Amino acid sequence: MSPEHPTPRAVLEKVLDPEMPVLTIADLGVLRDVREVDGRVEVTITPTYSGCPAMDVIRADIETALHAAGYPDVVVRTALAPAWTTEWITEHGRRALAAAGIAPPQPTTQGGGPVPIALSVPCPQCGSPDTRPQSQFGPTACTALWVCTSCREPFEYVKAF
């Protein structure tokens, strides 16, 4: 493909997450698959959780971006399995979160086991591990509010799933 006509994946790797616009849907791990089949672009996305209200906006943003790039026939499918995990957030995405003052998720236990609970989250402002949860409910269902007891700054933390 020429630079004037980017691939569908290249187009979608620039679509921002509507709830955390410091991340693209690719960096968040929501963009699962992009295929061209008989002139149609087929996109598979996985929500961060099954009731995620941002999915309709993400779907519309995908269609709009692809149509604007010259792909008129677009199908967006939602796949619930395997379930999304914070492990799918790319390293670039984790750095973007931290740069925006949002603590990226801590590593999770893969392959089953108990749901991890963060006992300490490094402050994205000053790096101190001396932090505490303020509320398990942040601006989005995927985040919690924490505060640093060193620099006294509040921050969001992306909950590990």
| Burial of 128 (C-beta count, 10 Å sphere; 0-12/13-18/19+) | middle
If residue 24 lies in a helix (H) or strand (E), which one and from where to where? none
CA distances from 3 to 7, 10, 41, 69 (A): 9, 10, 18, 11
**pLDDT in tens for each of the 161 residues of the chain?**
445 789 999 999 999 999 999 999 999 999 999 999 999 999 999 999 888 889 999 999 999 999 999 999 999 999 999 999 999 999 999 999 999 999 998 876 555 566 556 678 999 999 999 999 999 988 888 899 999 999 999 999 998 87
- For residue 121, the 8-state DSSP code is -
The pLDDT score that the predictor gives to residue 41 is 98
| The model scores a pTM over 0.85 | no
Nearest to 55 by CA among 86, 88, 33, 79: 79
Nearest to 104 by CA among 50, 49, 45, 23: 23
Which of helix, strand or coil describes residue 154? strand
In the chain, which residues fall in CATH 3.30.300.130? 8-78
What's the CATH class of domain 8-78? Answer: alpha beta
Alpha helix ranges (H) inside 83-154? 91-99
